[in-house]
Structure formats: structure tokens, C-alpha cells
Copies of this chain bind each other. A is one copy, B any other.
């Protein structure tokens, strides 16, 4: 696997664009289109939130169709909590895009992100579909920017793998820096938005399985604020243009493909944490020695969502007691008296007891770095998990105290 500079248009046959439709008050780009030259198969994963945004509902219906060729996305408005009108508006976004591209509406998927509870300015969207089509290009300029909300930078990445003699490309772009605590279920219910494209030839069932494996250890392990969105969505389109022997079983090619997809998803997830609203630091929580994978994830996830710990890291204060308290609140039944905690490589808690005379100057210095790694060893088994987050700054509060006004 090699990492290449790229994004959603790096794989063969994918084109993208982004325009300013006037949905965002800022006047920045807010409408985007992703298009495959040939029909592609799709897999997707959506939020488990009971309040599901209208684009999530419509995309779920359209996913019943076997082939898809486009995804239309707006930022600046979540089109959520808008009742039947919201559903109609999401469907209209898809229909108008489909008509312009000469496709059936069910071949178009739809996604939105932004404020909840405001009706979508559908006319602005309709009026800008022609410009969106004209803008479609192989360099996909603007796509990754158009899907941003409070993101400070675009997030995209691509990898290339060899399957037999064919080179297969997988590329992706994502957004999401607040209301970020995805918990997604495959084809059921995710405002992280992620768009992945690949020219791999693979069966629909296996693409779905592969995405399922990839999101569990990536997007579902990243959190900025613990607030699960109504709009989280992760889409993969696979158009088969790489010409590889179609993947129809969980053999070697499936494994290579899935490893690459996992890598891509994990790197994109980390970019989300790095660019978290108001973030000044990137934090990785590693849990090892857990009884099983689910327990490892629960503990890592719980520690990564501790407001107190995240404030301490913002302030460069190595207050690791908050790591212990958060782990203990995870609901996982581990033995505190066996637990070790490391800040970087400094052991601060050993078998449940504070390590006397540990180097507090070193931990204080470590906590002032841009990247903080915290490790817990539960000594109950061999399972491991990692969760990613960012520190909790005054700027986070500022950003989110004036979002709608």
C-alpha cells in the first residue's frame, strides 16, 4: 500500500466539484457534487441518532437501488428536524441533480451538514446545480472545501494497492470538527461526513462488509465533544474501473482492500480529531490488556470524552487522576488494583496506586506538547483499542456559544 496525495477524485472515473450557493452566511463554498463516469456500487453507514436528518432518510431509501452514480452534498444547513418538508427538500436535491445528470433519482445519494431546525434554501440549491455540473473535474477542486462547516482545513487522502496485476486506488474526503462523536451502524443509521471512492471491482456485499470493518476502529473511535450528530454519514462508491479481478470472496484481495480502507478511514478519523473545534492538541488514548475488544473500546472511548481530562490537557496539567476516574466510569468491569496508566512513557499509576516520585517535571513537559498519548493497561486480557480526541479549549466554548447567531 502506498499513500498518495489525493482525495475523492484520485480513483479512475471519479469527478467532483464545489460551488458557492449562498447557503452559508460566510459566503464560502457550500454545495458539492461527487460523480462517477460509470454506475458504481455503494455502501454507507449512518448515525444511530433517533433524530435522523432528512438526507439520511432519503439516502437510506436510495441505497436500496443497486447502482449509484452521484452524491450531492450541502453544508451550512443540516436539513434536520424539518419534518416532511425536510424529506421533500432532500429528495428534491437528489431529483434535480439526477435530472441534470440524466440519472434516475435513486442513483443519487444526498448528505447535509450545518445548523439543525432551519428549512433548506432549496431554490439556492436548485439554481446552482448547473454550475455544479459545469464545475465537475478530475482534480475535484472545491469538493473537500464545500463540505466544511467549522473545519479549519480540508481533509483528504488516497492510497494505492496492488491486487493481482491491477493497481486499485481508494481515496476519501471528510469533514467534522464539532457535534462529533459518531456511532454508526452499517446501512442503518453517522455531522461527520465522509466520502470514499474507489475504482476497485468488488461485490456489493463485500464492499459493505469491508466498510463495516473499517468504521469500527476509525470514525467510531473519534470524538470532539461527545455530541452525536443527526447527520453523520459515511459513503463508499466503487466503480470497478481499475480492472482488477472482481473481489467476490474474503480471500487475499479482500484482506488487502480492507486493510487499505481501514488505514484510510483511521487516518481521516485522526484528521478530524486534530482539527476539532478550538483544538490546540491531538490526543490518543490507548487501552491494552482488556478482556475483549468491546471492553477495550468502551474504556478508550470513555476516557477520550472526559471534559475534565481534555481541559487539563489544554492547560498542560498532567492531572492523570482524571484518566482513572473516566476509565472507572466506563461501565467496564476491570480491576482497578491491577491497572497501570502511562502519560507518554512515564508510568504514573501502577497496580492501582500512584507511583511515588514519578517524574512530574517530565509529565508536565509532556502535557505541553502538541500530541499527547495516554496508555492504560488493564491486565485482564490481550485486547487493545485506540480512541482519538483533542483538548477542550476556551475557543471551543466561544465557537459553540454563537453558532446559530
Which A residues form the contact surface with B (CB < 8 A)?
48-52, 78, 80-86, 115-119, 178-179, 181, 183, 225-230, 305-308, 311-312, 314-322, 324-330, 332-334, 336-337, 339, 348-349, 351-354, 356, 364, 392-394, 396-405
- Which one of B50, B321, B337 lies within 8 Å of A327 (CB-CB)? B50
A354 touches B312 (CB 8 A): no
How many whole Å from A243's CB to the nearest CB in chain B? Answer: 43
Q: Which chain B residues lie closer than 8 Å to A397 at the CB level?
A: 311, 314, 392-394, 396-397
A335 (CB) vs chain B CBs: closest residue: B50
Residue pair A403, B227 in contact (C-beta under 8 Å):
no
Check B81 against A115 for contact (C-beta < 8 Å). no
Residues of B within 8 A of A314 (CB): 397, 401
Complex contact B356–A119 (CB within 8 A): yes
Min CB distance A173 to B, Å, is: 23
How many Å from the CB of A177 to the closest CB on chain B? 12
Interface contact A317-B83, CB-CB below 8 Å: no
List chain B residues, Cβ under 8 A from A81: 321, 324, 336, 349, 352-354
Interchain CB contact under 8 A, A354 and B117: yes
Q: Is the CB of A80 within 8 A of B403?
A: no
Q: Which of B78, B227, B322 sits near A116, CB closer than 8 Å?
A: B322
Whether A317 contacts B50 in the complex (CB less than 8 A), given A227-B322, A227-B326, A352-B83, comes out as no
- When distances are taken between beta carbons in the complex, the residues of chain B under 8 Å from A52 are 328, 336
User: Contact: A325 with B86, CB < 8 Å?
Assistant: no
A308 to B48, CA, bound (A): 18
Q: Which B residues touch A392, using CB under 8 A?
A: 397
Contact across chains for A404 and B119 when beta carbons are under 8 A apart: no
Q: How far is the CB of A133 from chain B (nearest CB, A)?
A: 30
* Closest B residue by C-beta to A118: B354
Copies per assembly: 2
The answer to whether A315 and B82 have CB atoms under 8 Å apart is no
Contacts A348-B117, A397-B311 given: A318-B51 contact, CB under 8 Å?
Answer: no
CB pair B82 A354 closer than 8 Å: yes
Query: Across the interface, do A317 and B228 meet the contact criterion of CB distance under 8 Å?
Result: no
Q: What are 10 A-B interface contacts by the 8 Å CB criterion?
A: A51-B327, A82-B353, A84-B353, A116-B319, A181-B329, A227-B326, A230-B328, A317-B401, A393-B397, A397-B397
Within the complex, the shortest CB–CB distance from A78 to chain B, in Å, comes to 7
Nearest B residue to A352 via CB reads: B83
User: Contacts A226-B226, A230-B324; is A317 near B403 (CB within 8 Å)?
Assistant: yes
Contact between chains at A116 and B225 (CB < 8 Å): no
Q: For residue A313, which residue of chain B has the nearest CB?
A: B401
B residues less than 8 Å from A50 (CB atoms): 327-330, 332-334, 336
Contact partners of A327 in chain B: CB under 8 A: 50-51
Cα of A330 to Cα of B82 in the assembled complex, Å: 20
A244 to chain B, nearest CB (A): 39
Among A225, A318, A330, A353, residue most surrounded by chain B Cβ atoms (within 10 Å): A353
What is the bound-complex CA distance between A181 and B404, given in angstroms? 28
- The 4 A-B residue pairs with the shortest CB-CB distance, nearest first, are A116-B321, A315-B401, A83-B353, A51-B328
CB distance from A213 to the nearest CB of B (A): 24
CB distance from A334 to the nearest CB of B (A): 6
Cβ of B311 and Cβ of A179 under 8 Å apart? no
Are A308 and B404 CB-contacts (below 8 A) given A49-B325, A83-B351, A351-B83? no
Closest B-chain residue to A402, C-beta based? B315
In the complex the two chains form, is A324's CB within 8 Å of B398's CB?
no
Give the nearest-CB partner of A348 in chain B.
B117
Q: Do B51 and A315 touch across chains, with their CB atoms under 8 A apart?
A: no
A229–B321 Cα distance when bound, in Å, is 10
Contact in complex: B307, A225 (CB < 8 Å): yes
Q: CA of A364 to CA of B401 in the docked complex: distance in angstroms?
A: 12
Q: Given known contacts A318-B404, A394-B394, is B117 in contact with A337 (CB within 8 Å)?
A: no
Residue contact B349 to A117, C-beta cutoff 8 Å: yes
